[in-house]
Amino acid sequence: MYNNYGNLQTNWIQLAGDTLINREPNMNLKHKWEYEDGLMLSGMFQIFLASGDKKYFSYIKNNIDAYLDDDGNIDGYSFSEFNLDHINNGKILLDLFEQTHDLKYKKAADKLYNQLLEQPRTPEGTFWHKKIYPNQVWLDGLYMGSVFYGRYLSQFKSDNDLADVVHQFITAYNVTLDSKTGLCYHAYDAKKTQPWANTINGHSPHFWTRSIGWFVMAMVDVLEYIPASNPQRTDILNNLNNLLNALRKVADSKTNLWYQIPDEGDRPLNYLESSGSLMILTAIAKSIRLNYINKDDWLPFLLEGYKQALRQFISVTKENYVNVNKIAHVGGLGGPSKRDGSFAYYMSEPIVTNDHKGVGPFLLLICEMQHYL
């Protein structure tokens, strides 16, 4: 391994945390309320907990405070868009409220929770991904909306059994599952009318690594909030195990990482993609720690995958800044550009560096890996 790529003994927590403070004091130069920033800040919050250094907490607080007033109004947030992506940053609002007890964070979180109460649903009762994507379930949405949903209810609604939260996860898994591979498709159209949708089952044309990464991280996270008394908690746990096992079967055998289209790794143009791979490794690492999966079976796979992730995706500049490389910039379906979900589409999206969709899971992963190294 090249020295400037770092190694397993590198203090990645400090190096990556300091990189963001110094290189990106303002997390979003366009001042948009964007889900990937919440993902990055979730990683920074874990760095704060792992290190105990308050400078990381100050970074989080200062960046979120730039969007809030004292009444919890969120600059750039639109309730009427019914966009699950806009809910993701709510997890940070709850972190800040727990740490500071400042009511503006609770008031802002209340607004996001109230959106979920009115969020349109498919006939199965699953949240639409966005108002502009009617009757569509995207795997991303479980991480964006339903983890916050579960945490909010467990934190503020002691009489709620989280049945609807569980329903979101069970139905999303069922409507996107491919029974042959055990993988879940990127999206599902309940009406089966979208140009990208299979007219028989409503599935999008391909599996997409990052969408599955979002989903397995979401399942791992939400299990912390679902009480053992809920009989369907075991269903989510079983679905998590089944999906991770299916992912393991299509992982690149040389690296224990995943291609942009995970089940077609030998196809020209396909490439090892960092954000989805880092998300899946994060889900595996946290699942081992919380005994959701078997440690003896999974830990060797995780350790090799982490070592290879550092080699394949991470570089360090001469300024000692961490770069997360090989990130698929976006991946979606339909919309104004009529994204068709084809293999050619997923290969056509730009591959970028330091997008927070890749930085965030790297921060989460390095915090999880401290338990094993």
What one-character-per-residue DSSP string does 75-136 give?
TT--GGG--GGGGTTHHHHHHHHHHH--HHHHHHHHHHHHHHHH--B-TTSPBPSBTTBTTE
pLDDT value of position 156: 95
- Tens of pLDDT, residues 180-198: 999 999 999 999 999 999 9
Q: How many domains does the chain have?
A: 1
Burial classification of residue 216, based on how many CB atoms lie within 10 Å of its CB (0-12 exposed, 13-18 middle, 19 or more buried): buried
Longest dimension (CA), the chain: 54
Q: How far apart are CA 94 and CA 152, in angstroms?
A: 8
pLDDT category, 361, cuts 50, 70, 90? very high
- Tens of pLDDT, residues 82-108: 999 999 999 999 999 999 999 999 999
Residue type present at position 43: G
For residue 110, the enclosing domain spans 3-369
Angle at 89 between CA 83 and CA 91, to 5 degrees: 120
Q: Using an 8 Å Cβ cutoff, are 132 and 120 in contact?
A: no
pLDDT category, 313, cuts 50, 70, 90? very high
Residue positions annotated with a catalytic role: 140
pLDDT category, 157, cuts 50, 70, 90? confident
Closest CA to 92 of 56, 116, 117, 53: 56
Q: How far apart are CA 199 and CA 181, in angstroms?
A: 20
CATH code at 361? 1.50.10.10
> Does the pLDDT of residue 2 top 70, yes or no?
no
**17: Cβ–Cβ under 8 A, 6 or more apart, which residues?**
44, 47, 51, 53, 56, 363
Helix axes 54-65, 90-100, angle to 10 degrees: 120
- Tens of pLDDT, residues 281-291: 999 999 999 99
pLDDT value of position 4: 59
- The whole-number average pLDDT for the span 128-150 is 98
pLDDT category, 1, cuts 50, 70, 90? very low
The pTM of the full predicted model, rounded to 2 decimals, is 0.98
